[in-house]
């Protein structure tokens, strides 16, 4: 039986998050500059988005640029930002055709104006799509997110809009950039690295973590199916013991 048909629809994660890693090493393996790896990474973005939507996954979050990535060489940053503009302008039609809504998390106002503009246009054009939401984490880091949520809540508290007793987990979740999006059940990281790199630290509290040695430009539908099948074999206990779980 092929991998796709082994996936149980009733146990499908509704939200998958991916740390796309290994573009640079993939390029090096091919004797090419790092940007070649990013360009080939776009194919993996397209494949995983298509595969997730076909399966019925409701949210797919991709870590495309972290707040720390500004430390990279200027040329690489410029090339990545240009690639984002190109990809967004080209792929919005595909998103429309596939009924996929685009959303972004991160401090996107600080992106170069053309990237920011292309992103806002994509978000606006796809805002009524319903099948799946594709969330791009851009100029994102979990510590930034937790800090901006805390600042927002501190201000609301100061303005008398919230009181201390009513402050709970939901209040905090709703102040994060992921407000309204269920937490990811599955986190995938490619390229053999096993760390979270400041990605969705609050939201991944109970996620299953899946690490694959595949470099991101080589990531295809089959790899996504493998990760989901691995996820479906795990027992998610949320602090309980096996015997307490409803089958
Ligand atoms: C990580 O590999 C990759 C990135 C930081 C950028 C990801 C961007 C894309 C795939 C391009 C387009 C994206 C979208 C959403 C349209 P790395 O450079 O850290 O690789 P290395 O660890 O091998 O150096």
Per-residue pLDDT of the chain (247 residues; tens, 9 = 90+): 799 999 999 999 999 999 999 999 999 999 999 999 999 999 999 999 999 999 999 999 999 999 999 999 999 999 999 999 999 999 999 999 999 999 999 999 999 999 999 999 999 999 999 999 999 999 999 999 999 999 999 999 999 999 888 889 999 999 999 999 999 999 999 999 999 999 999 999 999 999 999 999 999 999 999 999 999 998 777 788 788 887 6
β-strands 132-140, 208-211 pairing: unpaired
CA of 107 to the centre of ligand 1 (A): 18
Ligand 1 within 6 A of 136 CB?
Answer: yes
Ligand 1 within 6 A of 91 CB?
Answer: no
Ligand 1 within 6 A of 104 CB?
Answer: no
The closest of 52, 61, 12, 27 to 220, measured between CA atoms, is 52
CB 118 within 8 A of CB 83: no
Check residue 207 and report its DSSP letter: P
Give the torsion sign (CA, 231, 232, 235, 236). positive
CB 12 within 8 A of CB 234: no
Q: Which of 17, 18, 22, 23 to mutate to test the pocket of ligand 1 (most atoms within 8 A of CB)?
A: 23
What three-state secondary structure class fits 163? coil
Tokens representing residue 108 in the block: 């996107």
Q: Which domains can be identified in the chain, with CATH numbers?
A: 10-141+183-232 (3.40.1180.10)
CA of 149 to the centre of ligand 1 (A): 27
Distance CA 181, CA 110 (A): 23
Measured by CA distance, the residue closest to atom 1 of ligand 1 is: 21
Distance CA 232, CA 229 (A): 5
CB 196 within 8 A of CB 218: no
Check residue 64 and report its DSSP letter: E
Q: Which of 18, 19, 20 to mutate to test the pocket of ligand 1 (most atoms within 8 A of CB)?
A: 20
Give the torsion sign (CA, 240, 241, 242, 244). negative
Measured by CA distance, the residue closest to atom 24 of ligand 1 is: 24
């Amino acid at each position: 039986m092929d991998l796709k048909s082994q996936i149980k629809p009733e146990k499908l994660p509704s939200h998958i998050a991916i740390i796309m890693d290994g573009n640079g090493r993939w390029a090096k393996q091919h004797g090419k500059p790092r940007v070649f790896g990013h360009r080939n990474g776009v194919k993996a973005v397209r494949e995983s988005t298509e595969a997730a939507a076909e399966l019925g996954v409701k949210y797919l979050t991709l870590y495309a640029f972290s707040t720390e990535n500004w430390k990279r060489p200027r040329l690489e940053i410029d090339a990545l930002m240009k690639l984002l503009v190109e990809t967004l302008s080209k792929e919005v039609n595909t998103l429309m055709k596939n009924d996929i809504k685009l959303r972004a998390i991160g401090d996107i106002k600080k992106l170069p104006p053309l990237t920011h503009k292309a992103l806002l246009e994509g978000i606006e054009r796809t805002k009524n799509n319903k099948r799946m939401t594709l969330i791009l984490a851009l100029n994102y880091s979990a510590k930034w997110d937790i800090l901006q949520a805390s600042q927002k809540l501190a201000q609301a508290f100061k303005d008398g809009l919230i009181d201390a007793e009513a402050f709970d987990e939901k209040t905090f979740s709703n102040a994060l950039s992921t407000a309204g999006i269920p937490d990811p059940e599955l986190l995938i990281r490619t390229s053999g690295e096993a760390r979270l790199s400041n990605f969705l630290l609050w939201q991944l509290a109970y996620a299953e973590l899946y690490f694959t040695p595949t470099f991101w430009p080589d990531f295809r539908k089959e790899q996504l199916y493998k990760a989901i099948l691995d996820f479906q074999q795990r027992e998610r206990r949320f602090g309980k013991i096996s015997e307490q779980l409803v089958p």
